[in-house]
Structure 1
Amino acid sequence: MIRILDFIFSFIGVVLLLPVGIVLYIIGLFDTGSPIFVQERVGRHKKPFNLYKFRTMHVDTKSVASHLSTQASVTKFGGFLRKSKLDELPQLVNVLIGDMSLVGPRPNLFNQIELIEERDKRNVYESLPGITGLAQNNNIDMSTPEKLAITDKKMIEELTIFNYFKYIIGTVTGKGQGDRVGK
């Protein structure tokens, strides 16, 4: 049932938000010259997939978790995209093709060893990664691997249609701040 909802909502989202995406893409061309950011992430069953986002950091920024980056890495336009969560729009394509769900554990990088170990202990990788979820609605990010893995597991165990919509609505209405960036 969740996959059907993911497909329907991501398809509608891609269609309806395409004009917004085009505008953000054009502004991104002027901001960084490379508005789409593609990064390999850990997917379901720990299989790699390419995650799509609007670029919020300078092109030459090292590929690490956001909390390990510096605030100076974030462009002015990128700051706006992060604050408004519009940087996540291209992930609707990830949901549409089945690499992600709208709701699930945020996909991490393969170099986040401590988080991978904590998630492995709790079988978090049995689920599709998501754009949002319980952790994001409660400002828990990848800087606290054990707490995040525990929260992810709780979300997976308690995921119902009601909670699915609750997490999405919470994100859309501004609950949670997204991944924080280091100093």
Structure 2
Amino acid sequence: MMAQEVKKIKLDPSKVKGRWGYRIVKRGFDILASGIALILLSPLFLVLIILIKKEDGGPAFYSQERIGKDEKPFKMWKFRSMIVNADKMVEQLEEQNEIDGAMFKIKDDPRVTKIGHVIRKYSLDELPQLWNVLKGDMSLVGPRPPLPMEVEDYTDYDKLRLTVIPGCTGLWQVTKRNDADFDEMVELDLEYINNSSLWFDFKILLKTVGVVIHPNSAY
């Protein structure tokens, strides 16, 4: 008996790139919202910086190369939630990866610090990405920006999720998140890209607030 073929979402990149009005308004909102948020959240930034440095004396911020729109690399910023030099331990932990496909995630990652567990649970480690949004590397809403090593394993179909600017939050993050495998994440991202609109973005942002208050499967 033949295995049932997985239904693929059809995406026309040329149609996506033609949404000029939507993209202009979306970029304007990203600039305004991220700028205001960075100012209003500056006291929280200061508290988190102090707590992170107090735990082990390491840097409060962490930057990592990610792949953005049209496979363009950029430096993404986060609050450091792991021990210093955690990236060098990836190969040692490869066998513990709990996500199928081109993505690396461990639920009880031994590299995560005490304060790291807290800020990850409430997605506070993602806040510095507001700077990436202000710069234009990212948008408030869009697909998760992958690591270069993840993209190396992408099929042409998987790369369709790289036809738009990546986001701080997205349909995958506010629905299944780490309960989804890689293929499900791709399908959710392409569903978002196909149906993207200002109203859809607004609904995802509202759900993101709910996830921060009542965390889902973040780790």
* TM value normalised by structure 2: 0.75
Distance 2:152 2:218 in 1: 17
Partner of 1:43: 68
Contact 1:37 1:53 in 2 (8 A): yes
Distance 2:46 2:72 in 1: 30
The worse-fitting range, judged by mean Cα deviation, of 157-166 and 37-46 is: 157-166
Aligned residue pairs total 178
Contact 2:52 2:80 in 1 (8 A): yes
Shift of 1:37: 0.7
1:18 aligned to which of 38, 42, 46: 42
Unaligned runs of 5+ in 1: none
Distance 1:58 1:134 in 2: 29
1:62 aligned to which of 77, 80, 87: 87
SS at match of 2:65: strand
Contact 2:121 2:215 in 1 (8 A): no
Cα distance change, pair 25–178 in 1 and its aligned pair in 2 (3 A): farther
SS at match of 1:135: helix
1:119 aligned to which of 158, 168, 171: 158
Partner of 2:118: 80
Read off the aligned partner of 1:62 and give its amino acid letter: D
| 1:127-178 deviations in Å (ceiling 9; x for gaps) | 0000111100112349722211111010011111111111111111216636
Cα distance change, pair 34–7 in 1 and its aligned pair in 2 (3 A): same
Read off the aligned partner of 1:159 and give its amino acid letter: S
1:164-175 counterparts in 2 under 5 A? 164-174=201-211
Distance 1:18 1:141 in 2: 29
In our comparison, the structure showing a higher alpha carbon Rg is: 2
Partner of 1:153: 190
**Identical counterparts, % of pairs:** 36
1:99-138 counterparts in 2 under 5 A? 99-113=137-151, 116-117=154-155, 118-120=157-159, 123-138=160-175
Read off the aligned partner of 1:128 and give its amino acid letter: I
* TM value normalised by structure 1: 0.88
Distance 2:195 2:45 in 1: 33
Distance 1:89 1:171 in 2: 13
Read off the aligned partner of 1:150 and give its amino acid letter: E
Question: CA RMSD, aligned part only?
Answer: 2.1
1:139 aligned to which of 173, 176, 189: 176
